[in-house]
Amino acid sequence: MLFTTLSFLACTPAMMALQRENLDKGHLGEGVDIYWKAARWGDVATLSSLMVRPEDQLAVARVLASPTLRVTDVRVLQVVVGPELIARRDRDRTDVNQRWREGTALVQVEVYALATDRVESTTEEQKWVMDVRGWHVDTEASPIDADRPW
């Protein structure tokens, strides 16, 4: 009985870390899903809310206003979270520049291109970062351009 109790107590920090990782992965998955649904339906406000830099928010608004590309279908293939960059107890809840965790989403996107009048399928790897504001697109690692507004 004593051995079982000690074994349980020894596993608790590892189990708690796994639970936090699963929770963060779930939140990232929700953010990715919201982001890509917004991209599909041209919801600039929602897309912008998942980006931090104003110049990226403007770039997405400009590209989605263009009739040359339309996202027609999206499927999230995989979501992966990296290790905690800063332990929860050491996080500064006022520092918006402090990265807590990074993640990656692998997404299959179908895009209708007006210029070629056809639907093209592509697989995109998108970097995300978690900080005091929650999960958002890491536009430094996944820059936005006119050909790929995501």
Short-list 99, 84, 79, 98, CA closest to 34? 79
pTM of this prediction?
Answer: 0.78
Task: State the pLDDT at residue 6.
Answer: 47
Q: 117 in helix, strand or coil?
A: coil
Q: Report the distance separating Cα 116 and Cα 149, nearest Å.
A: 18
Per-residue pLDDT of 28-87, as tens digits, reads: 999 999 999 998 888 888 988 888 788 888 888 777 777 777 888 999 999 999 988 877
Short-list 80, 69, 81, CA closest to 39? 69
Which residues share a beta bridge with 104? 80, 127
C-alpha angle 7-8-9 in degrees, rounded to nearest 5: 90
Domains of the chain, CATH where assigned: 2-137 (3.10.450.50)
